[in-house]
Structure 1
Amino acid sequence: MGIIEGLTEFLPVSSTGHMILTAHLLGLNTDSDSVKTFEVVVQLGAVLAVVVLYFKKFLSLFDFRKQTRLSLRPRLNLLHIILAMIPAGILGVLLRDVIKDDLFGPQTVVYSLVIGGILMIVAEKFHPRTTAETVDDITYKQAFIVGLFQILALWPGFSRSGSTISGGLFARISATAAAEFTFLVSVPIMLGATGVDLIKSAGHLNTSDFPVFAAGFIAAFIVGMLAIKTFLGLLKRLSLTTFAIYRFIVAIIFFIILF
């Protein structure tokens, strides 16, 4: 489970969707408090991978100085992250129970894998000309547009990176810049979401669970670091359509298994 989380958290294939489907294949009771807590812990492992790899970039977010005296466009800073967090953050809080109760199931994941894949193909084929090649070229408006697309990621199986990279392409951001921006935005979003879940699950933790939780956390952290580096390289060689086709294949396989 830790390896699956680390591999898929930052790829446009949906880590939550893969975790739900994997748990189904392994026969795990996803309604169990211990399983839910375990899923939170492994997500924190993936978050730590981003923090380690982008530590210097996180520090630079608090620098609001302009790129040059001739430019009116500020470098990537904390305000970009906040603007990208607001839409999904608000709806995530308001619809948390609905999402957990109605959308966290293998059947709904199958549908979202397909719909999300179609969005990625459309975004890649019909996006306008790119104006932001790197994360430091992203404007506040573009950051907010990416945030609006991140709302789609509230549906498990849609994928945070898949929806935000698609939104980034529509907002004239390059795929690699949109991916890196997604990694940075994912940290406060995931820390907030997993923090709330962990607090609510605190009563179900005990020392006997520690070895299992530690194994999942470490696996997600190590594999997550490798996945981030690999994904950025793959984006320069592979199209989003390749990942969309993978999503369709997974959806077909689980459609046959579930239905």
Structure 2
Amino acid sequence: MYELWKSIIIGIVEGLTEFLPVSSTGHMILVGHAIQFTGDKADTFEVVIQLGAILAIVVLYWRRFLVLFGLGDRGVASPSGQRLNLMHIFIGIVPALGTAYVLRDQIKKLFMPETVVIGLVIGGLFMIVAEKWSPRIRSEKLDDFTYKQAFFVGVAQILSLWPGFSRSGSTIAAGMLAGTSRAAAADFTFLMAVPIMCAASGYDLLKSYKNFSSDDFVFFAVGFVVSFLVALAAVATFIKLVGKLKLTYFSYYRFVLAIIVLVYMKVVGF
């Protein structure tokens, strides 16, 4: 069985970065190579701890999910007369899920430090563009999202299939470019995360469940719990700060990380 400290480290990385616009997949690839945690077992482990991060979203947004399924109080209609519903979520997740299903093998081949660096830089530039050239806000709140905006965000989510680009970064930036507020785009991103990550993780588990054995239960369980707890804290904090923090701050972090990785690859190597 792998050392538990590796489980804790990867769990922290996943929980902390999954819903921040910095690319959790990219971070796990980089950290996994740095601590020599790669291979089929590592791939299965990453799927399991992603489910821990998904659980954090369900816990924080359970009231909203009840509303989406018609089990909660929808309250007063928004000024635009449009309220977020399951069709918005469906429109937002189909483009990326369809692309991922068709190009799954090709996408997996991109999971290496070199491609992560490219994704970090290009994704950071995309977020800067969104901050500097976004149009006037037409959808201030989550319930003001239109189907057209949801589709635009969904198409942009395809970019996140490149490791290092970031699902939340691409979708929040796309939402802003489509005329939504930063906060509304972030909320929509968090809601889309549950079905798209469940679908992706479920598919990967079916493909790789043979890599999981009873001997690894403690290792996997520790990573799952750590990922859940860290993601719970990260999402709750990000929700509060997203209206104040510009995406450019995360872009600068991505650029610095890309430089550090390049230097590390040159001096030490993965």
Q: Normalising by the residue count of structure 2, what TM-score does the alignment of the two structures yield?
A: 0.91
Is 1:85 matched with 2:76?
A: no
Q: Deviations over 1:41-74 (max 9, x none)?
A: 0100000100111111011113498954x96743
**Counterpart of 1:211 in 2: which secondary structure?**
helix
Contact 1:66–1:73 (8 Å) recurs in 2:
no
Is 1:15 matched with 2:15?
A: no
Q: Deviations over 1:18-47 (max 9, x none)?
A: 00000011112x2x2211110000100000
* Bigger Cα displacement from structure 2, 56-65 vs 159-168: 56-65
Q: Deviations over 1:71-129 (max 9, x none)?
A: 6743111000000011111111000010002x111100001100000000110011001
Is 1:167 matched with 2:185?
A: no
Q: Distance in 2 between matches of 1:75 and 1:238?
A: 26
Is 1:229 matched with 2:229?
A: no
Gaps of 5+ in 2: 1-9
**Runs of 4+ displaced beyond 2 Å:** 62-68, 70-74
Q: Distance in 2 between matches of 1:258 and 1:214?
A: 32
**Counterpart of 1:236 in 2: which secondary structure?**
coil
Which residue identity is paired with 1:200?
Answer: K
Which residue identity is paired with 2:18?
Answer: E
- State how many pairs are aligned: 255
Calculate percent identity across the aligned residue pairs: 56
1:74 corresponding residue in structure 2:
82
Q: Distance in 1 between matches of 2:206 and 2:257?
A: 33
1:253 corresponding residue in structure 2:
260
Cα drift, residue 257 of structure 1 = 1.3
Q: Distance in 2 between matches of 1:136 and 1:22?
A: 38
Cα drift, residue 258 of structure 1 = 1.6
**Counterpart of 2:64 in 1: which secondary structure?**
helix
Contact 1:123–1:166 (8 Å) recurs in 2:
yes
Is 1:25 matched with 2:34?
A: yes
Which residue identity is paired with 1:244?
Answer: S
The 5 A counterparts of 1:45-194 are 45-63=52-70, 68=77, 73-101=81-109, 103-194=110-201
Q: Deviations over 1:139-177 (max 9, x none)?
A: 111111110110101111000010000100011111111
Which residue identity is paired with 1:157?
Answer: G
Q: Deviations over 1:159-212 (max 9, x none)?
A: 001000010001111111111100110111110111011111111211110111
Q: Normalising by the residue count of structure 1, what TM-score does the alignment of the two structures yield?
A: 0.95
* Bigger Cα displacement from structure 2, 53-62 vs 16-25: 53-62
The 5 A counterparts of 1:199-210 are 199-210=206-217
Q: CA RMSD in A?
A: 1.6
Contact 2:123–2:165 (8 Å) recurs in 1:
yes
Which residue identity is paired with 1:59?
Answer: L
Q: Distance in 2 between matches of 1:124 and 1:141?
A: 20
**Counterpart of 2:136 in 1: which secondary structure?**
coil
Gaps of 5+ in 1: none
Cα drift, residue 134 of structure 1 = 1.3
